[in-house]
Structure 1
Amino acid sequence: MSAILSADDLNDFISPGLACIKPVETLPAAKPTNASNEYEVSFNTEAPPADLPPAQISLTDCLACSGCVTSAEAVLVSMQSHAEVLQELDSGPALRLRRNTAGTGIAIENRENGGRIYIASVSPQSRASIAATFGVTEREAGYMIEQLLSGPQGIKSRAVYRNGFQWVVDTNVAREACLVLGADEIMASMLTGEGKPNGVEDAPDQKQPSKPILTSSCPGWICYAEKTHPHVLPHLSRLKSPQALMGTLLKTTLSRKLGISPDKIWHVAIMPCFDKKLEASREELTDAVWEGTGTRGVRDVDCVITSKELLMLADSRRVDFSKLPRTPLPILIPFPDAKLGSFLFPPPRRRKNGIPGAGTSGGNLYYILQYFASQHQGATIQTTRGRNADVLEYTITSGAGETLFKAARYYGFRNIQNLVRRLKPAKASRMPGGKPVGSARRPGGKQTGSDFAYVEVMACPGGCTNGGGQIKADDPVITGRETSLVKPGPQEQKEWLAQVDEAYFSGEESGEEAALMDDRSDVVDGISPSHIRDTLAHWAATTGINLERLVYTSYREVVSDVGKKVGDTEKVIEIAGKIGGGW
């Protein structure tokens, strides 16, 4: 973190004219040799004008954590774009899937050409952004995305080899699995105690997270914690994010069922956040982990593009996104595993997100509260607003008024700073007989932060619908709207975000899905934990891989030289020695 843009002064909005200190390491710039060069850079020591335009920050400058982006990470991010998707689709004929002559399985064509199977997963936040942009429902936006990626009027109509995506899946199904697993993790932590063995022999981390358990599905928050606050790593949930879990499910199942290598399966995820590109690049999320080879492997998610880049993808193929059909495509080739296929493609093919109280970031905390309350008859949930709308505290009390469970929601880095301060361990006093000191102690000596059993942490204020890769109110060129003479300001962006949130919560539950849920007695917030656990157990049995190896991941402290004085020689040596991978 820069010494000028310190963590304590961190804000989620860069004001016009505010200096941004780029943390990315760069080689010393050579002096210009041609005085008449029109691109010559000069230094101006005069006072800057008062009416400066808003600061423009690129991905190589900073991501959600506003700093600590290494040169290797900048390369990893820049490599994932809509251009990479098109380049991959045009690299050669894809593997063609068809039903075999007996109609009992799937046959693969074009094996000798070295092609791949292409699969896409779409987040509900990206669908909401598309829905608000084109004035459709979230479900209709999902159908339009399917038409773009797989339909006859989509990108494959103008492709070299007419390659499209074989399946387009909804990450909501992986989200539901993460919700159930997260509730199980909380219950296990409360039963076994923090830091104790969790009984999982083959998991990446055999210890339960320390309380409070912090969500780990936001990659901007994880990147920030690993680089600047390693003391919070023992608190992080060990569960994979829905994006990562979906990637693992697709590649393990298809590679086993079709008898092909994981590198023959190419998976792109459409997400609301640029930081998801870094998550996809983690060494912990490759086939080397679930195969147990211990070597650098094939990514579970090969590429991540954002909601904005999805429209760029359509524009690059000269496809008018607004004119795509708003109806679903038939599934011509069923998923190789029938049970997992019914899980990936549920009856309405869209899962609802219709509860505003759950928030727009997946509802991790909301589901855990509902699940915990369902285990205690007569329990009630109380909500208390914190210092701003992005801080909420929750308490579950018994019928007798006893506090059973406390949790909180912290969105945005300004609020996250307060959280990590409370979790910072106290330092021993240097004075003989002195009490421990530090920001983690109250004046009375009581440590803070441990009051909560669970905290939902997200880097973006307002949650994932406000992600950096979402379509903004000031994107007229991308959205195809007429350019306004007045540039939209914060209030217009706030109103636009409200429209995106409304689209996010517009999902409907079909009568068929409601009937299926009514047949199960353990439904919590529309999700049956027993059904999820049964499906996950089937997945593990089908692939022959321990379930814990499939659903859990790990984190590590990352040492950064940001803010340290390093000579030019050391910079050159370090940059030349970087080979990428990990964070």
Structure 2
Amino acid sequence: MSAILSADDLNDFISPGVACIKPVELQATETAGEVEIQIDENGKPLQISKIDGKISALAPAQISLSDCLACSGCITSAEEVLVAQHSHDQFLKAIKEGNKTFVASISHQLRVSLAQAYGYSLEEMDRILVHFFKDQMGFAFVVGTALGRKLSLLEESARTIKSKLANGSDHKPILSSICPGWVLYAEKTHPHVLPYLSLVKSPQQITGCLLKSLAAEELGCSRSDIYHLSIMPCFDKKLESARPEEDDASLPGPDVDCVLTAKELVQLLEISDYELIPSKSLDASQPITQLYSSCAPRGWPLKELSWSNDSGSESGGYGYNYIYSMRDYLLKSESSYTAENFSIHQVEGRNSDIHELRLMYDGKKVASAAIVNGFRNIQNLVRKLKPSTGPTVKANPLAARRRARINAKSASSLPSPAPEEAADASKADYVEVMACPSGCINGGGQISRPQEVSEREWLAQAKHLYWNIATADVLEDNSLGDMLRDWSTEFQDKTSLPKARLYDTHFNEVEKPQDAATIMLGSKW
């Protein structure tokens, strides 16, 4: 595990159950017979002999990274689930070996984290990152993840609309799967929600597939000769990149070779001779859009927009994108709909990390999308989606009538309150689910706040910076969406790549441990 991580960094952490504790090896003592375990005033465990009253301190139980990775009983936080091959040490080793051509993709949230930590604007930080990877480290190409994200948004909305129209009132909510922390949690602890998960890949994986293929084509080499570094706000993205493809024969090898977070990038700088911030100011005379174009492969579409933002949320705006896509679809396909009669209502949930967007037409709801962030809200969602089991308990009719009379008498003396509608993600068409509170902008790999700045203020600053990224919505410009769809189809035809290899992921239930001792000691979430 990276030395820069600590328990203080965890914001999506679920405490391990009893089965997660690795027993310590106790040394033999002279104390015999029955003992009692107590906790002293400092919270430390003590062993007290009931025979002679002798007190001895107990060593705390521990859990290591290898124990965590070997266990399938829980999901902790992104910071606890690292993959050794995706460390900054392994990346530097690959650089020194020099037998690969390196390319990088950089997420929106990572750019925000570094700009905030170092006190630069977004444009200044983008220039710094391009200079760092291309000029210092010798990378062939450096791109933003905007292309992969926009293709992911388009595909996600198209599939949700298709499901909604095909199933009507029987449509089940589609849960986003771009957050690997949430996906791992579902696979290990709530397999009943796996049929609800979207099969559309995340921007990281779509970007990786395109970047490796286009870089290899331009440089005249094999995909296996390309080393793709992805810079992300989340440690769990390492595990996402390691998920094997179901159709690996059509395009063998991983689309992402290494994932580093903002924290790890900072640590890399501390142990190497590289410097992120140049000693001299970078030349800013070249327009930033030209810089974006100059560092992308020739076949990369919309080079000037390859670092652009999308409306909706700091996690990519998947729920928002679906709502507006459904509105546009209805306007195009049904002549009875008029734009002025559509409205979008935001309904708040029980806390700031859950809300619902409802597409209304003449006051009637025609589509809805929910945003659910943080494991506390996720647990409530999966609980509502769990199928009911067991026999139905028959109610006592006499008791029911008595309660009804009492309730009616009490209600008659009170004014009738207006009905309140609360956000209910389990009834939405589509749910944007993220493990971290506040979503990806608050990912576990982002740089931590200074001690003098409150967590609320630090997060507010990050969100403000995020929305300073220039937006290029596929929703506002239909030609942009059409062009991207056409380009994607052309790319697949040219490379003989099945659509599923570019867009589809898969999920598997992780079997629970069968060891009797583990089952006996284990605790459920």
Aligned to 1:528: 480
Letter in 2 for 1:321: L
Given candidates 226, 249, 254, the residue that maps to 1:299 is 254
Cα distance in 1 for residues equivalent to 2:368 and 2:292: 44
Aligned to 2:367: 405
Cα distance in 2 for residues equivalent to 1:141 and 1:562: 50
Q: Per-residue deviation at 1:302?
A: 0.7
Is residue 221 of structure 1 aligned with residue 182 of structure 2?
yes
Contact 2:176 2:197 survives alignment (8 Å): yes
Q: Per-residue deviation at 1:125?
A: 0.1
Letter in 1 for 2:153: L
Instruction: Identify if the C-alpha distance between structure 1 residues 121 and 557 changes in structure 2 by more than 3 Å, giving closer, same or farther.
Output: same
Instruction: Identify if the C-alpha distance between structure 1 residues 117 and 395 changes in structure 2 by more than 3 Å, giving closer, same or farther.
Output: same
Cα distance in 2 for residues equivalent to 1:193 and 1:465: 34
Aligned to 2:353: 390
Mapping for residues 74-473 of structure 1, pairs under 5 Å: 77-92=83-98, 115-151=99-135, 154=136, 156=137, 164-193=138-167, 211-255=172-216, 258=219, 260-284=221-245, 289-292=247-250, 298-323=253-278, 325-326=281-282, 327=284, 338=298, 340-343=299-302, 345-346=303-304, 350-353=307-310, 355=311, 358-375=312-329, 376=331, 377=339, 378-398=341-361, 400-429=362-391, 451-473=427-449
What is the percent sequence identity of the aligned residues?
Answer: 35
Letter in 2 for 1:172: A
- C-alpha offsets along residues 293-342 of structure 1, whole Å, 9 cap, x if unaligned? 8xxx5211111000111112222223443336555696898766x4x323
Is residue 508 of structure 1 aligned with residue 470 of structure 2?
yes
Contact 2:132 2:275 survives alignment (8 Å): no
- C-alpha offsets along residues 77-104 of structure 1, whole Å, 9 cap, x if unaligned? 1331111111100013xxxxxxxxxxxx
Contact 2:103 2:226 survives alignment (8 Å): yes
Instruction: Identify if the C-alpha distance between structure 1 residues 131 and 563 changes in structure 2 by more than 3 Å, giving closer, same or farther.
Output: farther
Instruction: Identify if the C-alpha distance between structure 1 residues 332 and 137 changes in structure 2 by more than 3 Å, giving closer, same or farther.
Output: closer
Q: Per-residue deviation at 1:410?
A: 0.7
Contact 1:367 1:525 survives alignment (8 Å): no
Aligned to 2:32: none
Secondary structure at 1:558 match in 2: coil
Cα distance in 2 for residues equivalent to 1:253 and 1:194: 40
- C-alpha offsets along residues 100-119 of structure 1, whole Å, 9 cap, x if unaligned? xxxxxxxxxxxxxxx22111
Cα distance in 1 for residues equivalent to 2:375 and 2:274: 38
Contact 2:145 2:307 survives alignment (8 Å): no
Letter in 2 for 1:238: L
Cα distance in 1 for residues equivalent to 2:454 and 2:394: 58
Q: Per-residue deviation at 1:555?
A: 1.0
Q: Per-residue deviation at 1:281?
A: 1.0
Contact 1:334 1:341 survives alignment (8 Å): no
Cα distance in 2 for residues equivalent to 1:333 and 1:392: 40
Instruction: Identify if the C-alpha distance between structure 1 residues 321 and 334 changes in structure 2 by more than 3 Å, giving closer, same or farther.
Output: closer
Which of the two has higher C-alpha Rg? 2
Aligned to 2:40: 47
Q: Per-residue deviation at 1:214?
A: 0.6
Is residue 554 of structure 1 aligned with residue 516 of structure 2?
no
- C-alpha offsets along residues 190-209 of structure 1, whole Å, 9 cap, x if unaligned? 2333999xxxxxxxxxxxxx
Cα distance in 2 for residues equivalent to 1:533 and 1:332: 20
Letter in 2 for 1:146: V
How many residues were matched structurally? 443
Cα distance in 1 for residues equivalent to 2:109 and 2:514: 32
Q: Per-residue deviation at 1:431?
A: 7.4
Instruction: Identify if the C-alpha distance between structure 1 residues 61 and 129 changes in structure 2 by more than 3 Å, giving closer, same or farther.
Output: farther
Instruction: Identify if the C-alpha distance between structure 1 residues 335 and 147 changes in structure 2 by more than 3 Å, giving closer, same or farther.
Output: closer
Cα distance in 1 for residues equivalent to 2:151 and 2:515: 40
Cα distance in 1 for residues equivalent to 2:122 and 2:514: 41
Instruction: Identify if the C-alpha distance between structure 1 residues 303 and 13 changes in structure 2 by more than 3 Å, giving closer, same or farther.
Output: closer
Aligned to 2:335: none
Cα distance in 1 for residues equivalent to 2:454 and 2:26: 43
Aligned to 1:203: none
Cα distance in 2 for residues equivalent to 1:524 and 1:422: 35
Q: Per-residue deviation at 1:58?
A: 7.7
Letter in 1 for 2:88: H
Contact 1:22 1:67 survives alignment (8 Å): no
Secondary structure at 1:323 match in 2: coil
Contact 2:148 2:203 survives alignment (8 Å): yes
Aligned to 1:439: none
Q: Per-residue deviation at 1:62?
A: 6.5
Contact 2:293 2:304 survives alignment (8 Å): no
Secondary structure at 1:392 match in 2: strand
Given candidates 451, 455, 473, the residue that maps to 1:493 is 455
Secondary structure at 1:342 match in 2: coil
Structure 2: gaps spanning 5 or more residues: 1-9, 29-35, 46-61, 332-338, 397-423, 520-525
Q: Per-residue deviation at 1:253?
A: 3.5
Letter in 1 for 2:113: S
Q: Per-residue deviation at 1:75?
A: 8.5
Instruction: Identify if the C-alpha distance between structure 1 residues 425 and 12 changes in structure 2 by more than 3 Å, giving closer, same or farther.
Output: farther
Q: Normalised by the size of structure 2, how large is the TM-score? A: 0.74
Backbone CA RMSD of aligned residues:
3.9
Name whichever of 308-317 and 320-329 sits farther off.
320-329
Contact 1:252 1:262 survives alignment (8 Å): yes
Secondary structure at 1:291 match in 2: coil
Secondary structure at 2:358 match in 1: strand
Instruction: Identify if the C-alpha distance between structure 1 residues 57 and 529 changes in structure 2 by more than 3 Å, giving closer, same or farther.
Output: farther
Secondary structure at 1:269 match in 2: strand
Identify, as 1 or 2, the structure richer in helix: 2
Cα distance in 2 for residues equivalent to 1:332 and 1:395: 38
Q: Per-residue deviation at 1:13?
A: 6.5
Instruction: Identify if the C-alpha distance between structure 1 residues 57 and 499 changes in structure 2 by more than 3 Å, giving closer, same or farther.
Output: farther
Q: Per-residue deviation at 1:74?
A: 7.6
Contact 1:473 1:493 survives alignment (8 Å): yes
Contact 1:407 1:452 survives alignment (8 Å): yes
Secondary structure at 2:83 match in 1: helix
Q: Per-residue deviation at 1:352?
A: 3.3
Letter in 2 for 1:352: N
Contact 2:188 2:512 survives alignment (8 Å): yes
Letter in 1 for 2:431: V
Q: Normalised by the size of structure 1, how large is the TM-score? A: 0.67
Instruction: Identify if the C-alpha distance between structure 1 residues 76 and 395 changes in structure 2 by more than 3 Å, giving closer, same or farther.
Output: closer
Instruction: Identify if the C-alpha distance between structure 1 residues 133 and 534 changes in structure 2 by more than 3 Å, giving closer, same or farther.
Output: same
Q: Per-residue deviation at 1:188?
A: 1.3
Q: Per-residue deviation at 1:385?
A: 0.5
Cα distance in 1 for residues equivalent to 2:129 and 2:105: 10
Contact 1:308 1:470 survives alignment (8 Å): yes
